[in-house]
Amino acid sequence: MSYRFDSSLRLPAALMAGLVVGCVAGAIVDAPWTGLAVVALAEIVVLLSLIRHQTRPMMAAARSEADPQYDRLMTRSRRIASQLRDLRSAAGTLPDAVVLLDQTRHVRWFNHASEELLGLRRPADRGRDLLDVLRNSELADWITDGAREPLNDVTAPGRPNRHISVTLLPFGSRQRLLLARDTSHLTRLEQIRRDFVANVSHELRTPLTVIHGYLELLDPEDIPELATVIDEMRTQSKRMGQIVEDLLTLSRLETQDHVPDEQVQMTPLLATLRKEAEALSQGRHKVSLDAATPVDILGSPKDLHSAFSNLVSNAVRYTPTGGRIVIRWERTPHGATFSVKDSGFGIPASHIARLTERFYRVSSSRSRDSGGTGLGLSIVKHVLNLHQARLEIASEPGQGSTFSCEFGSERLLDPERAHDLHMLG
């Protein structure tokens, strides 16, 4: 008669599933090896429990039948337990915080980095609800709201000068892993970059203004042999000036964390955008406006004008002569959407995800010929982020593009509310 240990047959499958989850977790936090180690760490608790609660009675039964089987089983159990303890010890020294939560969100285990980055206390916080031990309201709100997306650049609990990124991942049977990484050095580097760009832009503004002013004083008719050169110098100095202005705008937007709740009157704004498009087009395109929605929004009129104007000017620049451009403002079930649709060149799908990066260009030569700075869509993204809105891009090569700014219902201002706001102002 032979004895079969069912749990040992399930172990390879469980470990393989853990590897898959670990790879996904590691990819999310940009540390695949850390992800694998973390998942293996989480399996420690389950496997040790399995060994403790299931192995003993089974081993007793096995021993009654055959001592050799019992010895082999004991040796294997000790080896697995030793390996898991070693892995748990190694995971405990990881620089990233790791917290294992059960299905009721109670803390089952955490490593030493969790004490440093999340403020957890050993052993007092073991077994407690995570919301009760997190000493940071932003983190607690993020978890309460479902933690669907990673939380980046949040202040570490009790450490105002330290910044972390946090991810919450499902694991096993209704368990979860909370991962936190110290991003303070990245935050400092980003601040250095912002300061550098802002300072350089300010320093460049004055000399460029002087150069452009002197170029405007030159009359090509007085120096016909240099007429082409003067025109090109004027064009490039004007373009450099626009780049500087866009960089300063980006620097300002990046340092803002909110916008004033002013009434943005959409009807006159849309009319202005149409006039700007027609002036830039100079009759080369058919520009139409579809704005049957009589609703305004709350936000910054100046910044939203800048964002919408960038989308309109891009449509004009990248649509061939004879093409059509449609500016639309409409209500949606969840808010309202401003969109610009063109019949231009279109954008390959591989480029769409990177369009809002600074200076990113689908076609360098086409962008230079159009006169763009490469910063417009980055400005659009930052403006929308400040308004809790998002940019959606739909495009197909040869079929044109649609850029949509989607605003939530909390930003809408119906006529009655607008009247009350006007009376208060």
Query: Are domains 97-182 and 258-425 of this chain identical in fold?
Result: no
Cα separation of 318 and 402, whole Å?
Answer: 12
Q: Which fold has domain 97-182?
A: Beta-Lactamase (3.30.450)
Kindly report the pTM of this predicted structure. 0.64
Assigned token pair, 97: 């915080």
The residues pairing with 298 across neighbouring beta strands, listed in sequence order, are 263
- Delimit the domains of the chain by residue range: 1-94, 97-182, 184-255, 258-425
Q: Before 150, cis peptide (omega within 30)?
A: no
Q: Which fold has domain 258-425?
A: Heat Shock Protein 90 (3.30.565)
Q: What is the dotted CATH code of the domain comprising 184-255?
A: 1.10.287.130
Assigned token pair, 224: 């016909």
Q: Dihedral of the CA atoms 66, 69, 70, 73 (nearest 10)?
A: -170
pLDDT tens per residue, the chain (425 residues)?
444 444 444 555 555 555 555 555 555 555 555 555 555 555 555 555 555 555 555 555 545 555 677 677 777 777 777 776 766 666 666 788 888 898 888 998 888 888 888 888 888 898 999 888 887 888 888 888 888 888 888 888 888 888 999 999 887 778 888 899 999 888 888 888 888 888 888 888 889 889 989 898 888 888 888 889 989 999 888 888 888 998 889 888 988 888 888 999 999 999 999 999 999 999 999 999 998 777 899 999 999 999 999 999 999 999 999 999 999 999 999 999 999 999 998 999 999 999 998 888 887 555 555 667 788 999 999 999 999 999 999 999 989 999 999 999 999 986 666 555 555 55
